[in-house]
Structure 1
Amino acid sequence: MQVMDALGDPVRRRLVELLADGSRPAGDLAAAVGVEFGISQPAASRHLRVLREAGLLTAEADGTRRLYAVRPEALDEVQAWLGGVRRFWDQRLDALGTEVARGRRERGAAGPATAGDRDGDGKGQAR
């Protein structure tokens, strides 16, 4: 399973979020998502396995416990995808910001709007 596919499930995304601060035992993770999503411990374990097989998590034996941790380099694929999407939106949001600023300047040059002039057309009527 690919990284993006593995992160398509809200339970798995939450598991990754829970591991953002460092490694945690499988039991703690299962209990946390069990409460939030109403799933059993075996179901949580299956989600952890999917994340591990996708390369997002590592699992290390610690006595009878299994400690899971995020592999930060596995998130590079997600970051690359987001970079492309962000570049697309940044240009459009910058253009929108320019238009908003232009509208404010034009409205300021025409004088302040009155309380009844919500649309700034000087007629004093709200639409």
Structure 2
Amino acid sequence: MIAFTTWDIVRNLMLAWRWTIVLTLVTFVLGGALGLIILFMRTSRRNWLRQVARLYIELFQGTPLLMQLFLVFFGIALFGVEVPAWLAAGLALTCWSASYLAEIWRGCVEAIPKGQW
């Protein structure tokens, strides 16, 4: 049986911390950019753009994040495309954070009175 020392656990946590920070930064930058596009669609005057943005937001906010991660990683592989785990995690987390950021920013934009624009 393999015995883990406290140092082994701390070392592995420090390695995981580094990749968690990188994945978080990439996700928020790309999710923010995509969220900004969805925000413009959601506040557009065109009805079909608002509906597409609302469908996107409801889809990604209405399904559990873990299920989205599984669908991206295993679902794309069903089509014969091999997706690395980091790319699948980054893609799923970007789409998830974009939906939440777009809806938060929409509330902020709509809270500004029309006279202040």
TM-score, normalized by the shorter chain, greater than 0.5 = no
TM-score normalised to the size of structure 1? 0.33
TM-score normalised to the size of structure 2? 0.35
Say which structure is richer in helix.
2
Say which structure is richer in strand.
1
If asked which structure has higher relative contact order (CA below 8 Å, sep 6+), I would say 2
